[in-house]
Amino acid sequence: MKTFFKPATSEKNHELPQIIAILIASLGAISNGLLFSWTSPAIPQLVASNTTTLEEASYFTVISPISMAITAPLFSMLIDVIGRKNGVLLVAVPQLIAWILTALAEDIWIYYLATFFSGIGNAGTFVTIPVYVCEIAEPKVRGTWGNVVSISIYSGIFLINVIGAYNDIKTTALICGCLPIIQVLLFSYMPESPYYLLMKGREDEASKALTLLRWRNNVEKELLPLKADVARQISESGTIKELFSIISNRKALIMCVGMRIAQQFSGLPAFEMYTQYLFQQAGGDVSHEISAMIVSGTLALSVSLSAFVVERFGRRPLMLISSLGCALILTVETIYFSISEFTRVDVSNFGWLPLVGMLAYTIVCATGLGILPTLIAGEVFSASIKSKAGGITNATTAVCILIIPKLFQLLTSNFGIFSPFCFFTICCYGSVIFSHFYVIETKGKTLEEIQQELKGNKRHRNRSADC
């Protein structure tokens, strides 16, 4: 097995090899963020050069989610066949193709094709990387470093706004296209998920992988209970029917799908895809390019800092606080835009409000809505059903991403910029209600413990096993 890691003789687990594997796997999530918000700097450039109209450019935000919805279930099935590691490596292929097509594009149809491949890459990212991260990390590592996937996505969103602000579309594509190549070169040395290897009955390989990931030679105390948990979970047939008929699976699915819907209907994908356009329309005291960089940079930094408080405060409280905070901030933004558009009240002294409001929104969103749906999706499903549940959850995400940015464009064009803010405000208040009734706490728990809680059972805590 190719690896950078050499196991030590220490009798305690080391976190560093797990962190390294998570960081390298998350390079694919950075590419995801770059591709996801490519439209933020690209749409103003294309419209300004008369290469395309805003209506034509708006379909960039439609095509990617369609391809994501189609391919997410395929990736979910594929990682059970080729493995988690190969699944993560495979994600780099459509991402690289998307950047090559973007660099070569001469007309709108090539851009559309590139966007289709970026959607495939996005599907692969959301399906493969969280599963890999969850299955290689101990609970204490997963609670903090499991959020690196979300951090990487938002870092990519920030980077594309910076790179795109100072380069044309072709140069931006050439720069960003280097990242999938780097990811493949580095990640090929990472170990496979021990969890997946046990599912396939490859116990010796699982022991070797666990040895490398824990950086110790004696892993039997962790391997044996992990083997028992995997055996129990794969003893379930894992059919789609069981995803709904087994109470723990059904509760987990409702929670994950609901959290994804709450995340997307908070307005986050629209703000990410139309960042520069939003500030163009809103006006204000700062240019739209600088405003986009400030907001996306604040989002990336806030997510990074929030990752280290999730394990302290827990998932459920942060989801509630984040949803309510976003609702209140968007309420203020809605009132500002309503006054600006429908009254003669002079709001010139408050030109700073759109930018400050979006900064506050990104900070509060980052503490819960921005990161927790991705983290929890990797924690709550048993091995037998994880791939199918991931396909449904990520297809739901794709449908939401398909709807929200287009809805933002339609509402803004037909009713004014206040209208999408009003809609997202109502949705955030709905998220507070959902989080109160349906989100459970997974802090510091193994997958087996989470499964027992979803079933309504109590079980002695066994920290030796992981998801």
- The percent of residues in the chain predicted with pLDDT above 70, rounded, is 88
pLDDT class of 462 with cuts at 50, 70, 90: very low
What does the domain layout of the chain look like in residue ranges?
Answer: 16-195+236-455
- pLDDT of 233: 67
What percent of the chain shows pLDDT beyond 90? Answer: 29
Mean pLDDT of 365-389: 79
Interior/surface letters 153-176, b for 16+ CB within 10 angstroms, e for the rest: bbbbbbbbbebbbebebeebbebb
Cβ neighbours of 339 (radius 10 Å): 15
Q: Do residues 302 and 360 make contact, with C-beta atoms less than 8 angstroms apart? A: no
Q: Is the pLDDT of residue 147 over 70?
A: yes
- The average pLDDT across 160-170 equals 89
**Least confident span in 100-109, 129-138, 278-287, 322-331:** 278-287
The CATH number fitting domain 16-195+236-455, selected from 3.40.190.10, 3.30.530.20, 1.20.1250.20, 1.10.4080.10: 1.20.1250.20
Cα dist from 435 to 116, 150, 427, whole Å: 33, 20, 12
Higher pLDDT pick, 18 / 147: 18
pLDDT (0 to 100) of residue 465 = 39
Amino acid 467: pLDDT: 42
Average pLDDT, the chain: 83
Within a 13 Å sphere around the CA of 259, how many CA atoms are in the beta-carbon half?
A: 33
Number of H helices, E strands in the chain: 26, 0
**How confident is residue 463, by pLDDT bands cut at 50, 70 and 90?**
very low
DSSP state of 440: P
- The whole-number pLDDT of residue 466 equals 41
Q: What is the dihedral of CA 370, 374, 376, 380, to 10 degrees?
A: 160
Task: Please report the pLDDT score of residue 30 as a whole number.
Answer: 95
